[in-house]
Structure 1
Amino acid sequence: MRNTLATLWVGDRLGPIELASAASFLRMGNPLTVYSYTPIANLPPGVEGRDANEVYPARQIATYAREGSPSLHSNFFRFALMRNTDHTWVDLDMIALQPFAFEGARIYGYEKPDQVNCAVLRLPKDSPVLADLSKLGPGTRGIAPHIQGARRLKYQIKTFGRGVPIENWPWGSTGPRALTAFLRKHDELRYALPLEVLYPILTKDCRRFVTPGDLSDESFGPDTRAVHLTASNINKILAKENGGVIPEDSFLGHHVARARAAGFLCGVGLSPSKTLPKAV
């Protein structure tokens, strides 16, 4: 049975990356729900839109203080989604290459040899990992869970044992780093999928997704279910080197074209959105 998928979008429009991602999931037969706090003007056909307050009520969007990123809020929402629904979370910068029909109550995979990502995530409702993640929220103050040893002691001394507000934690502290720390704590890293299943292209090599003539769907082996574009990095590369435009003859360009052919990109250009709530 194909997994039912869900995500959160902060903003009123999806860009070409997000539309290409949604199109890829529907093409593989996976139902997709996009939750949002405000209506999305260009939600594509076949994608269900729902009020994010059903899962995680919020009066304002939590953001990292330094970056101003809503990814902090998206992590709080992601953990609530695990508690309150049976959906599998997906970031809208994943491109599905095969149907998502994972068995079992846990879905997460390595993005590098020592860290698991949560761009695709499912946890059992009674998971001790989920219980620890769910303690993170607006108003949390302390030391990020991945900070250990002498560095943690230094933080404790510096803050007189109080820690710092969660919005001031280092980038990634409430996403992959927290997930990895709690999986290690509860001996559940053993359930993580290998790199090639969800993250065969490392973040440092994400340029390949927008390099003309480089990658195609056929570049990946039979074990790869999807690839993670890491849209925040793609956006920076395109803005710096290509005027913000997605090259047509690139992996991402080809998937944008497929989404357009399916009627997903009416009135949308090739400039990526800047409001993706990344899983970090």
Structure 2
Amino acid sequence: MEICSFWYGSSLRFVDRVCLASMILAGHRVKLFCYDPIGNVPSGVEVHDAEPVLPRHVFARINKDFPAKRPGVTVLQFSDLFRVMLMKHGEGAWLDTDVYLIKPFDPAPAKPYLARENFSRLGVSALYLPPDNPIIGDFDAYINGTEILPDWLGFHRRFIKPALARLKGEEVTTGMIGHTVFGNDGISRLARRHGFFRDAAPKESFYYWTGRDALRIFDAKYGLEPIRHKDFIGFHIHKKQPTDLPAEPGSFYHWAIERVQHLLA
């Protein structure tokens, strides 16, 4: 299956280049959607226009003051919307640009693919939805609607938190409600609503280490432990700070860079 992803900006981070290159190495056609030219795309990655998938003006749907206010969380939430719209357009399976792939990622075309991040939540860094999946309809309805907040939020985020904000004279936006409104939290709630939360792939598929433990990929003491697990497909590099430092020989991250070095030149 083809891999699709999204980038907002004119230049990729080094970790994103490494991860995109790993997808090429795994044998995939990789399509990176963006609004503006990107100058440092790894060899083999195709750059595609994002506008036909989700017009740039939709940024105003979640933040009318973008990019003047809260640009970081707005881009994050827009990316969450964008990945689901890629599913609507049948562009393939989604991987975040910071997912390092070891094996081919080929979900069944007729079934949704999500992996557990923990007991109560699904990750969205690796995702596939068939074009007729109801989550796509939920996102489509939100994008084309007028309500500020989506209808899948829990009671606290949908009613209590907005009410408290209004009492303080604050504007209610999806950004102030929470970063994961359209991401992990939102998709997990919708997967439960539509009855396929329990069908999620094992945590080890893409989230072998999470939280503070995710830093273990930079530590030679843990070496290549994840790749020995039978369910391991790739790793979401959630912790970014060490990626700007020299990789420690013997660590997963050092090994990961060495594997794709020829695609980064």
The corresponding residue for 2:49 is: 51
Q: 2:237 aligns with which of 216, 222, 229?
A: 229
Out of 3-12 and 193-202, give the one that drifted further. 193-202
Higher relative contact order (CA 8 A, sep 6+): 1
The corresponding residue for 1:271 is: none
Distance apart, 1:140 and its partner CA: 4.4
The corresponding residue for 2:13 is: 15
SS, match of residue 41 in structure 1: coil
- Pair 1:211–1:137, CA change in 2 (3 A): farther
The corresponding residue for 2:207 is: 199
The corresponding residue for 1:142 is: 149
SS, match of residue 51 in structure 2: helix
Distance apart, 1:256 and its partner CA: 1.8
Q: 1:177 aligns with which of 168, 175, 185?
A: 185
- In structure 2, the gaps of 5 or more residues are none
Q: Distance in 2 between matches of 1:174 and 1:263?
A: 33
Pairs aligned (count): 251
> How large is the RMSD of aligned CA atoms in angstroms?
2.6
The amino acid that maps onto 1:142 is: L
The corresponding residue for 2:218 is: 210
Q: Distance in 1 between matches of 2:58 and 2:246?
A: 32
Deviations 1:162-205 (A, max 9, x none): x9322322121210100001111111112211112221112331
Residues 196-275 of structure 1: matches in 2 within 5 Å? 196-216=204-224, 219-230=227-238, 233-235=239-241, 238=242, 244-249=244-249, 250-260=251-261, 262-264=262-264, 266=265
Deviations 1:45-97 (A, max 9, x none): 21111111121111475669557331111112111111112311110111112
Alignment of 1:115 with 2:148, yes or no, is no
SS, match of residue 164 in structure 1: coil
Out of 75-84 and 138-147, give the one that drifted further. 138-147
Distance apart, 1:248 and its partner CA: 3.6
Task: State, as a whole percentage, how many aligned pairs show the same letter.
Answer: 22
Structure 1 length-normalised TM: 0.80
Distance apart, 1:219 and its partner CA: 4.5
Q: Distance in 2 between matches of 1:119 and 1:252?
A: 18
Q: Distance in 2 between matches of 1:155 and 1:57?
A: 30
| Higher share in helix | 2
Q: Distance in 2 between matches of 1:184 and 1:45?
A: 39
Q: Distance in 1 between matches of 2:226 and 2:58?
A: 43
SS, match of residue 192 in structure 2: helix
The corresponding residue for 1:126 is: 132
The corresponding residue for 1:75 is: 80
The corresponding residue for 2:35 is: 37
Q: Distance in 1 between matches of 2:180 and 2:139?
A: 13
The amino acid that maps onto 2:199 is: Y
Deviations 1:2-44 (A, max 9, x none): x100000111122221111112111111110001111110112
Indicate conservation of the 8 Å contact 1:144/1:169, yes or no: no
Alignment of 1:88 with 2:86, yes or no, is no
Indicate conservation of the 8 Å contact 1:143/1:169, yes or no: no
The amino acid that maps onto 2:35 is: Y
Q: Distance in 1 between matches of 2:157 and 2:21?
A: 44
- Pair 1:67–1:11, CA change in 2 (3 A): closer
- Pair 1:106–1:151, CA change in 2 (3 A): closer
Indicate conservation of the 8 Å contact 2:4/2:30, yes or no: yes
Deviations 1:233-274 (A, max 9, x none): 322xx38xxxx41424221222122222x131x3xxxxxxxx
SS, match of residue 235 in structure 2: strand
Q: Distance in 2 between matches of 1:151 and 1:57?
A: 27
